[in-house]
Amino acid sequence: MTESKSRVALVTGGSRGIGKAVALALAEAGTAVAVNYRERGQEAEAVAQAIRNSGGRAAAFGADVSLGTTVQSMVHEVEDRLGPIDILVNNAGMAAPRGLDDITEEDFDRSIAVNLKSAFLCTQAVLPGMRARRWGRIVNISSIGARIGSGSVSIAYAAAKAGLEGLTRGYALRLAPEGVTVNAVAPGLVDTEMGQPLIEAGIAARIPVGRSGTADEIARAVMLLVDNGYITGQTVAVNGGSLFS
């Protein structure tokens, strides 16, 4: 992984699951990592400490990335402590299960804010530096729910992730001439805290490869996009064949 070496990355929602795996993969490639969290400060600090113990540079940064003012403050703090942000992984998300008869306006607004608006806010905050340096990598973590509207996720989550893929393509088209690539990774069922209820419900047995994915497998897809400047505007599906089953 040559492109990510000696860079600085911000991973939102980096305290656990996919975000943690991405942070560790970036660090292994020689990238300094800002591990963002909203509530799980101890877990985020543990991720940063693990990176430092391995000889890397990392720090944990608390911020609600669905709020513009806190995003701006976080980005300034990251740049002060680690340096200019070259790589952004918009991983922060939530998937509260809600049926058609249960979902409220507040539920919908919160899902859009956390799963979609946060990516817009973080991207806008880091773009000036990336454009000035004419180099940047932005990877948005989408979901298979954006494609299939599965009954196992709420319509708000599916809508937000579909919007995230549209945001990805819109930024990619405009930023390609400036050396900034923007892509998405769309995981299927992954063995994380968020995916555990579905795994316990036996959903993994329906996946063609016969199992759920791992956070490390998603992280490797992210690293592919970080290290390839000729891929942009794409959504890489990592789902064990679920879309053609």
Share of the chain above pLDDT 70, in %: 97
Residues facing 61 on adjacent strands:
36
| Residue 227, in any domain of the structure | yes
| pLDDT tens digit sequence for 33-84 | 999 999 999 999 999 999 999 999 999 999 999 999 999 999 999 999 999 9
Cα–Cα dist 164/114, whole Å = 11
| Residue 235, in any domain of the structure | yes
| pLDDT tens digit sequence for 137-183 | 999 999 998 988 665 678 999 999 999 999 999 999 999 999 999 99
> What pLDDT, on a 0 to 100 scale, did the predictor assign at position 150?
60
DSSP 180: E
Residue 241 vs residues 31, 149, 196, 217: alpha-carbon distances, Å: 31, 16, 19, 14
Question: Total structural domains in the chain?
Answer: 1
DSSP SS3 for 186? strand
Whether residue 127 is predicted with pLDDT greater than 90 in this model: the reply is: yes
| Residue 85, in any domain of the structure | yes
Kind and range of the H or E run holding 159: helix 155-175
State residue 142 phi and psi, 5-degree precision: -95, -145
> What pLDDT, on a 0 to 100 scale, did the predictor assign at position 100?
78
CATH code for the domain of 138? 3.40.50.720
Under 8 Å between Cβ of 14 and 46:
no
| Residue 177, in any domain of the structure | yes
DSSP 113: I
User: In terms of residue numbers, what domain contains 200?
Assistant: 8-244
Which residue matches tokens 């549209």? 166
| Residue 1, in any domain of the structure | no
| Residue 112, in any domain of the structure | yes
Instruction: With CA atoms as reference, report the closest residue to 138 among 122, 149, 151.
Output: 122
Instruction: With CA atoms as reference, report the closest residue to 45 among 58, 30, 54.
Output: 58
| Residue 218, in any domain of the structure | yes
- Active-site residues: which are they? 157
Which residue matches tokens 């804010």? 113
Average pLDDT over all residues of the chain? 93
| Residue 207, in any domain of the structure | yes
> What pLDDT, on a 0 to 100 scale, did the predictor assign at position 245?
45
Confidence band (pLDDT; 50, 70, 90) for 207?
A: confident
Q: Which two tokens stand for residue 1?
A: 């992984």
Whether residue 203 is predicted with pLDDT greater than 60 in this model: the reply is: yes
